Amino acid sequence: MSDEARPEKRFHGVGVSPGIARGSLVVYRTEEEAPQARHIEESEIPSEIGRFETALIATRSQILEMQQKIAEAIGAKDAGIFDAHLLVVEDRTLIDEVLRTLSRDKHNVEYVFQQVANRYSKTLSEIDDPYLRERALDIHDVARRVVHNLMGKSIKTLAGIHHKHILVSHNLTPSDTAQLNRSLVLGFATDVGSKTSHTAIMARSLNIPAVVGLHDASEALVTGDQVLLDGYNGFLIVNPSDQTLWEYGELEVKMGAVEEKLTQLRETASTTLDGRHITLSANIELPEDVEAVKKSGAEGIGLYRTEFCYLNRTEFPGEEEQFDNYHRVAKAILPESVIIRTLDLGGDKFTGVMEAEIESNPFLGWRAIRFCLEKVDVFKIQLRAILRASALGNVRLMYPMISGVEEMRRANAILEECRQELRAEGVFFDEKMEVGAMIEVPSAAISADLIAREAAFFSLGTNDLIQYTIAIDRVNERIAHLYEPTHPAIIRLIKTTVDAGHAHGRWVGLCGEIAGEVILTPLLIGLGVDELSTGAALVPRVKRAVQSLDMNVCRRLVEEVLQCDSSDVILAKCEEVAKSHYPDLLG
């Protein structure tokens, strides 16, 4: 049957990286050859252990090489996904279990390792905790590499594909995505995954369309199929009809025209039609991100995630290195300001230097300000570096995951110790540097009036605030649909925080993902938020939304929303306002 006669077929998943791609399909499957059991003699055990150690060393070297390639190509923040792989190679519990089983069962080491790794992976995959389930994937990926090294075989990779294509697979591990030829991959899709999966992270970093959660698409498709990938709405369309191609062609033209208009807003102010100015800032992770902020037309940096300077390291960065980073960023963004968030390790961001045991619930564990208040020596090095950079006069500081006024006071006390040290050393810094708190824990929002006495400003970290308030792990694809930014409780917590801040003369910003959701811009403005900080690429869209609204409309929306008891109803009301003022931004 010719392509023209074949019917169009659609698979629907979740769009995780926007854009539209058309082209030939490559279905990537990894057919693994399981090692066969072979009995060995007692005398052979030392040589098997030697083979095992050599394979572990080779695997570690391969992972480090991939990590370096990713860091050079798209930044250290994305290379950090290999940290967990390195931990697997160095996991003494797993290694010791392999050695015990080898000595007891007397089978060849590749067979023993595969069996032990499978048990570990299976156990973790069945635990009702998304963080530990993700570790099961890490173990599987690393085990595959170790076994191939033991068997003297090369791993099947994607590097051998030499034509432009759209990639589909059941799943793509970090090792897989590290092998992608970025100039040839038009887009990719997977059967599994969520918006925060490795696949999604890589797609957004590579700036190519991607869809996850397609269930069994990889089994139903064949290499060579002509497909259209819709990263906006989450569709993979096989053998698209002429009508579908025409509709998507129109959409591409439309979105292209919108993007062209948005580029013209760079030098304009983010002010509503009736004159209310909303400070529009951008979030960064590394000093190299500043250039994108300047090109976006943002008014400075609303969130500098400093923990990304700590990842992929065997030791914490020293004061001079940190000072250099902070000073470079502050100087580059002048005359605008930068808000530097202190170290937020833990949760889903770990470094080998932490020497911390894996926690059953890391997002509620030893992370962020809790880590810093225990590791005062590490904390003070960072605070001194920030203070020194503040001499430029455009630096603000804020603490993450503050849960109450006591933590704020303890952190400020340590900061004051650093001030006193620098004064004694004759080192100049900004004595009036503003120090604020991130409000991302429900207890902080509820007690915002108390924290406001100790903080110069608030920044709402809505990613965690939503997660903690509704008790929804946004990484868990089984319940990700329950992650609702318009939940009535979230609206009330934002309002409580803004009202408390303003009552004490404090300005209130918002740096979570919803700052970039233009459907929610009228709601956030109506709630009284003074600043919105989002990814640099989204700044022009948010600016256009702000410029299209007036405060009366936004306040009326909030009055209506506060009477609603349903997330869906609230979202619908927000969408109605957005569509009536800037329909072209909604696609």
Query: Is 359 within the bounds of a domain?
Result: yes
Does residue 198 carry a catalytic annotation?
Answer: yes
Average pLDDT, the chain: 83
pLDDT at 26: 85
Among 135, 151, 167, give the residue marking a domain's end. Answer: 151
Query: Is 334 within the bounds of a domain?
Result: yes
Both 72 and 22 in one domain: the answer is: no
Q: Could you tell me which residue, 312 or 462, shows the higher pLDDT?
A: 462
pLDDT at 36: 78
pLDDT band at 349 (very low <50, low <70, confident <90, very high): very low
Both 91 and 209 in one domain: the answer is: no
Query: Is 36 within the bounds of a domain?
Result: no
Both 395 and 287 in one domain: the answer is: yes
User: Of 565, 12, 560, 547, which is closest to residue 269 (Cα–Cα)?
Assistant: 547
Both 340 and 292 in one domain: the answer is: yes
Both 284 and 409 in one domain: the answer is: yes
Query: Is 266 within the bounds of a domain?
Result: no
Query: Is 246 within the bounds of a domain?
Result: no
CATH number of the domain to which 207 belongs: 3.50.30.10
Task: Kindly report whether the global pTM for this prediction surpasses the value 0.75.
Answer: no
Residues in the chain: 587
User: Of 204, 202, 132, which is closest to residue 173 (Cα–Cα)?
Assistant: 202
Query: Is 441 within the bounds of a domain?
Result: yes
Among 241, 259, 287, give the residue marking a domain's end. Answer: 241
Q: Is the per-residue pLDDT at 118 higher than 90? A: no
Which range, 140-149, 167-176, 317-326, is most confident? 317-326
Among 112, 127, 151, give the residue marking a domain's end. Answer: 151
The single residue of 418, 511, 554, 574 carrying the catalytic annotation is: 511
Cα–Cα distance for residue pair 375/369, rounded to 1 Å: 10
The single residue of 148, 198, 327, 487 carrying the catalytic annotation is: 198
Q: At 391, which helix (H) or strand (E)? A: none
- Segments forming the whole domain that contains residue 236: 3-30+157-241
Cα–Cα distance for residue pair 575/586, rounded to 1 Å: 9
Both 353 and 492 in one domain: the answer is: yes
pLDDT at 277: 97
pLDDT band at 352 (very low <50, low <70, confident <90, very high): very low
Report CA torsion sign: 212, 218, 220, 222: positive
pLDDT band at 246 (very low <50, low <70, confident <90, very high): very high
Both 439 and 346 in one domain: the answer is: yes
Q: How far apart are the first and last CA of the chain?
A: 35
Query: Is 415 within the bounds of a domain?
Result: yes
pLDDT at 79: 52
Are 123 and 97 in contact, with CB atoms under 8 Å apart?
A: no
Q: Residue 295 class from Cβ within 10 Å (0-12 exposed, 13-18 middle, 19+ buried)?
A: middle
CATH number of the domain to which 113 belongs: 1.10.274.10
Both 204 and 174 in one domain: the answer is: yes
What are the helix and strand counts (H, E) for the chain? Answer: 23, 16
pLDDT in tens, 282-292: 988 778 888 88
pLDDT in tens, 5-36: 578 899 998 887 778 999 988 887 765 557 77
pLDDT at 390: 97
Beta bridge partners of 349: 346
User: Of 307, 305, 327, which is closest to residue 317 (Cα–Cα)?
Assistant: 307
β-strands 185-190, 457-460 pairing: unpaired
Q: How many domains does the chain have?
A: 3
Q: Is the per-residue pLDDT at 259 higher than 90? A: no
- The single-letter code of the amino acid at 474 is R
Q: Could you tell me which residue, 106 or 30, shows the higher pLDDT?
A: 106
Query: Is 167 within the bounds of a domain?
Result: yes
Both 466 and 554 in one domain: the answer is: yes
Both 468 and 553 in one domain: the answer is: yes
CATH number of the domain to which 376 belongs: 3.20.20.60
Both 109 and 169 in one domain: the answer is: no
Both 24 and 101 in one domain: the answer is: no
